[in-house]
């Protein structure tokens, strides 16, 4: 951590947590010292710039909190050939993500303090993006016996989930919710009724029928959510539905929130940018779980983000190597990488005027941070100096091979997008600089 | 193309030239019926008609593909389709190699691409591929430098079966347009049904599918057919009844409760056939389960059942597919062969 002072000037400052949104001004900016924010706002630089400060000129672009990605799969332990914490961290920094929460679906599964400590230690070693870890909700992800929620919470687990597997047993889910409740930790569900989804490879319906692929009926998602909502009502526990993909699921969460239930949800960029038509040529690089749905669903997901029903956008980053993807569709692995492209894809919602920049950034900063109880995702004195310089209008084309992840399974290869991260600062250290011009901080 | 003008003799088929201003047949592979223009389908059928005649003359083989190598690559068991392709290749003078890659010996799909690359390095002139996964044949075709014919991929397509069914109907009835065709049985898992729906609807036939609800895939009607769960209703006034095979593992409670229940409601019998047109033809892609999807006597009734015609015409259709692709990939060699005035 640098003892030096870092000053950011000439920026539009957006902090969704405080509602701050001020244009560039001579005295506006941010001062970071010892890894923390000391001053931020339109008058932060009134007292001038310390002599030894490293100055970042934002060139009129946006200063925003570092992004918090609440759903990421990393390859460690056990799948380092797909991604290491080092490559994931580089990809995250390039995508403006300064904190991310990793799924426990590693090999071995993260289900004890040692597993959590492994992630924490590897994260410390590479001094980049901050890694937080979920722990398995059930032992061996088998959906039967609960893991040690209390001890795991003490060891740093930010929530409990079985990753891409639904907690299917109703009695098990009930116990998981009520037990997690006492530690005020989230249970994160992969909402998909497993017997309906079994052996399915894409969204059920005409397209799957044409392709001769077994479909996953769209209602498999809302069915699981509706059951879970009853259990939330019964237990009073906090519940989070991950990667929403269907219109019905968004509506179920919307109504649950209106009833005052302690529920939240997220979605991923592919669910508001791609549809089942993106797999019509058996394109395994767009094979994800839950599957890509229809135009109608895509519209409902966007509406859910715009009206706040969907709390967070998470990348659902899942590295898979070419050998797992260049297969007949039914045999190919699910998942796409996304931590590096999340902001650029999400900015399309702003450019299409579905919601304002601050509201959009809230879904990737303060909101997921609050859900997980992280001190992250905001610009305020005393908070960690994790922030980004964002050019929301820069036009470029995604090149999967140029992304920093070890695996290149992007569903957005060659897609033209608007907006990218110019600089990423974590704990006051410049960890990513697109221009590469500023090398002083390190 | 110049070959038709160089010779005074009439072109034996309409395959590449003389298509009344239509674009030439330009498909590099035959992977499915979906998306193929009706005039290209007609061209294959016209070419196949020619081979039907040739095949009935004893000892009349062609040398069109002399010195060429066809590899039959079957990742799924097959006897009749593989044999039919083998015979088609031999009757065109090609060397045919059979590779049966039982699903048990193939672990997973990296072997599919590896196999493709390995075979490609041997420079085959054609690959005929069957695979249990939908889309696998198209994937393989992207990795090789020769024409690929899909001999069935998962529940996706089986284009040569649909073509031979169409040829059978066309030779018996004289046309496809305007006919009412009912496809009955396990539509859900059937690549034959999908290819036939594409082909028959493209050719202007009215297609119906008949199955228990558990074997009707969702959205099937949007492929261009009408779905029925009542067989009598579905068979009313149809010209053609196409029966599909019901696999045994699907009969014991998973999709239908039992064989006898299935046969009662969906097995084709003379009784059920009464509502169809009096001269309606019965087809089956084989192999048949007598007493499951079709009554035994009906299957053997030469006045109604054209099942053996289908087998015969299958060879001609596959010869036509090889011929058409050969002309796309090797137009000069094909033209030279024709200029020599040889028997195609």
Write the pLDDT tens digit of every residue in A1-40: 445 899 999 999 999 999 999 999 999 999 999 999 999 9
For residues A33 and A83, the answer to whether their CB atoms sit within 8 Å is no
Name the residue facing A327 among B109, B217, B219 (closest C-beta): B109
Chain A neighbors of B138, CB-CB under 8 A: 281-282
pLDDT value, residue A339: 98
Q: Report pLDDT digits (tens) over B147-156.
A: 999 999 999 9
Q: Which of A119, A112, A111 is nearest to A73 (CA)?
A: A119
**From A213, which residue of chain B is nearest by alpha-carbon distance?**
B134
- A332 in B contact zone (CB under 8 Å): yes
pLDDT value, residue B70: 98
Interchain CB contacts (distance < 8 Å): A and B:
78
Q: Which of A353, A349, A382 is nearest to A364 (CA)?
A: A349
Which of A213-217, B70-74, B113-117 has the lowest average pLDDT?
B113-117
**pLDDT higher than threshold 80 for residue B138:** yes
Q: Which of B223, B157, B141, B164 is nearest to B41 (CA)?
A: B164
pLDDT value, residue B242: 98
pLDDT (average), residues B162-184:
97
CA distance A134 to A155: 11
Q: Report pLDDT digits (tens) over B285-306.
A: 988 999 999 999 999 998 899 9
ipTM of the complex: 0.89
For residues A375 and A369, the answer to whether their CB atoms sit within 8 Å is yes
Q: Report pLDDT digits (tens) over A178-198.
A: 999 999 999 999 999 999 999
Cα dihedral A20, A22, A24, A25 sign: negative
**Exposure string for A240-259, b = 16+ CB within 10 A, e = fewer:** bbbbbbbbbbbbbbbebbee
pLDDT value, residue B10: 40
Q: Which residues of chain A have pLDDT under 50?
A: 1-2, 437-442
CA distance B337 to B344: 8
Contacts of A247 (CB under 8 A, 6+ apart): A296, A297, A299, A300, A301
For residue B213, the tally of other CB atoms under 10 A from its CB is 9
Chain A neighbors of B222, CB-CB under 8 A: 206
Let me know how long chain A is: 442
**Secondary structure of residue A320 in the 3-state scheme:** coil
- A277 in B contact zone (CB under 8 Å): no
CA distance A36 to A18: 17
For residues A233 and A256, the answer to whether their CB atoms sit within 8 Å is no
For residues B293 and B243, the answer to whether their CB atoms sit within 8 Å is yes
Contacts of A236 (CB under 8 A, 6+ apart): A181, A262
Name the residue facing B133 among A206, A323, A330 (closest C-beta): A330
For residues A29 and A15, the answer to whether their CB atoms sit within 8 Å is no
Q: Report pLDDT digits (tens) over B118-130.
A: 889 999 999 999 9
DSSP state of A333: P
* Ramachandran angles phi, psi of B182, nearest 5°: -110, 130
Nearest chain A CA: its distance from B240 CA (Å): 23
Inter-chain touch A210–B194, beta carbons under 8 Å? yes
**pLDDT higher than threshold 60 for residue B2:** no
Q: Rounded to two decimals, what is the model's pTM?
A: 0.92
Chain A neighbors of B134, CB-CB under 8 A: 211-213, 282, 328-330
Ordered DSSP codes for A57-95: E-TT-EEEEPEEEEEE---TTT-TTT--HHHHHHHHHHT
Q: Which of A94, A69, A3 is nearest to A428 (CA)?
A: A3
pLDDT value, residue A52: 85
Contacts of B241 (CB under 8 A, 6+ apart): B181, B182, B184, B235, B268, B273, B276, B280, B281, B282, B283
Name the residue facing A328 among B133, B217, B219 (closest C-beta): B133
- A283 in B contact zone (CB under 8 Å): no
**Secondary structure of residue B206 in the 3-state scheme:** strand
Chain A neighbors of B109, CB-CB under 8 A: 326-328, 331-332
Question: Between residues 362 and 401 of chain A, which touch chain B (CB distance below 8 Å)?
Answer: none
Q: How far is CA A27 from CA A10, A33, A48, A156, B321, in A?
A: 8, 18, 8, 39, 76
**From A281, which residue of chain B is nearest by alpha-carbon distance?**
B135
Q: Can you give the three-state secondary structure of A34-61, one letter per residue?
A: CCEEEEEECCCCCCCCCCCCEEEECCCC
H/E segment holding residue A170: helix A170-181
Inter-chain touch A328–B194, beta carbons under 8 Å? no
Inter-chain touch B139–A328, beta carbons under 8 Å? yes
Q: What is the mean pLDDT of chain B?
A: 89
Read off the tokens for B309: 């015609």
Nearest chain B CA: its distance from A320 CA (Å): 14
Read off the tokens for A220: 């498999």
């Amino acid at each position: 951590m640098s003892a030096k002072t870092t000053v950011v000037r000439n920026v539009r400052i957006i902090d969704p947590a405080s509602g701050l949104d001020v244009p560039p001004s001579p005295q506006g900016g941010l001062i970071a010292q010892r890894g923390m924010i000391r001053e931020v706002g339109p008058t932060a630089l009134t007292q001038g710039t310390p002599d030894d400060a490293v100055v970042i000129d934002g060139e009129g672009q946006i200063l925003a909190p570092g992004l918090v990605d609440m759903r990421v799969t990393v390859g460690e332990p056990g799948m380092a050939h797909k991604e290491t914490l080092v490559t994931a961290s580089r990809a995250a920094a390039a995508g403006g993500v300064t904190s991310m929460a990793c799924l426990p679906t590693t090999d071995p599964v993260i289900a004890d303090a040692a597993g959590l400590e492994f992630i924490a230690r590897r994260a410390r070693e590479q001094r980049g993006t901050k890694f937080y870890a979920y722990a398995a909700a059930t032992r061996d992800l088998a959906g039967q016996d609960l893991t040690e929620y209390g001890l795991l919470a003490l060891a740093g687990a930010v929530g409990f989930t079985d990753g891409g597997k639904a907690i299917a047993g109703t009695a098990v889910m009930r116990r998981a919710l009520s037990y997690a409740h006492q530690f005020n930790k989230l249970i994160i569900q992969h909402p998909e009724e497993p017997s309906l989804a079994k052996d399915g490879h894409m969204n059920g319906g005409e397209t799957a029928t044409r392709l001769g692929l077994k479909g996953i009926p769209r209602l498999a998602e809302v069915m699981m959510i509706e059951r879970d909502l009853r259990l939330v009502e019964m237990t009073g526990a906090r519940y989070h539905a991950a990667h929403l993909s269907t219109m019905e699921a968004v509506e179920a969460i919307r109504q649950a929130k209106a009833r005052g239930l302690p529920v939240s949800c997220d979605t991923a960029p592919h669910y508001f940018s791609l549809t089942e038509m993106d797999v019509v040529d058996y394109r395994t690089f767009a094979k994800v779980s839950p599957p890509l749905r229809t135009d109608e669903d895509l519209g409902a997901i966007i509406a859910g983000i715009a009206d706040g029903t969907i709390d967070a956008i998470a990348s659902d980053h899942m590295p898979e190597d070419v050998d797992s993807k260049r297969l007949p569709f039914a045999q190919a692995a699910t998942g796409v990488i996304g931590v590096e492209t999340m902001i650029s894809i999400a900015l399309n919602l702003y450019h299409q005027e579905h919601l304002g920049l601050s509201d959009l950034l809230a879904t990737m900063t303060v909101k997921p941070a609050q859900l997980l109880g992280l001190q992250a995702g905001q610009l305020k004195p005393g908070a960690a100096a994790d922030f980004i310089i964002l050019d929301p209008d820069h036009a470029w084309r995604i090149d999967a091979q140029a992304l920093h992840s070890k695996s290149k399974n992007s569903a957005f290869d060659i897609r033209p997008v608007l907006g990218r991260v110019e600089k990423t600062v974590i704990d006051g250290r410049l960890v990513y600089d697109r221009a590469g011009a500023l090398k002083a901080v390190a | 193309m110049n070959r038709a003008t160089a010779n005074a003799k009439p072109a034996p088929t309409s395959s590449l030239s003389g298509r009344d201003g239509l674009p030439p047949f330009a498909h590099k592979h035959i992977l499915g019926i979906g998306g193929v223009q009706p005039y290209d389908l007609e061209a294959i059928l016209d070419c196949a008609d020619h081979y039907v005649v040739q095949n009935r003359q004893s000892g009349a083989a062609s040398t069109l593909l002399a010195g060429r190598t066809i590899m039959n690559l079957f990742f799924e068991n097959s006897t009749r389709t593989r044999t039919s392709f083998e015979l088609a290749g031999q009757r065109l003078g090609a060397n045919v190699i059979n590779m049966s890659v039982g699903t048990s010996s193939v672990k997973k799909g990296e072997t599919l691409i590896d196999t493709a690359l390995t075979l490609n390095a041997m420079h085959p002139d054609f690959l005929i591929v069957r695979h249990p996964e939908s889309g696998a044949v198209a994937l393989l075709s992207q990795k090789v430098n020769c024409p690929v014919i899909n001999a069935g991929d998962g529940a996706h397509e089986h284009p040569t079966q649909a073509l031979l069914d169409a040829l059978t109907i066309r030779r018996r009835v004289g046309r496809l347009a305007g006919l009412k065709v009912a496809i009955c049985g396990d539509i859900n898992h059937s690549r034959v049904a999908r290819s036939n729906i594409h082909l028959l609807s493209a050719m202007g036939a009215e297609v119906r599918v008949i199955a228990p609800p558990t074997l009707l895939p969702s959205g099937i009607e949007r492929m261009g057919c009408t779905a029925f769960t009542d067989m009598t209703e579905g068979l009313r006034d149809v010209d053609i009844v196409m029966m599909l095979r019901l696999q045994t593992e699907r009969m014991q409670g998973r999709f239908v409760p039992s064989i006898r229940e299935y046969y009662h409601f969906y097995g084709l019998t003379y009784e059920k056939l009464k509502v169809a047109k009096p001269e309606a033809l019965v087809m089956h892609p084989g192999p048949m389960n007598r007493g499951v999807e079709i009554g035994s006597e009906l299957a053997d009734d030469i006045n109604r059942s054209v099942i053996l015609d289908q087998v015969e015409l299958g060879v001609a259709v596959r010869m036509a597919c090889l011929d058409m692709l050969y002309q796309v990939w090797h137009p000069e060699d094909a033209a030279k062969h024709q200029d020599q005035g040889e028997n195609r």
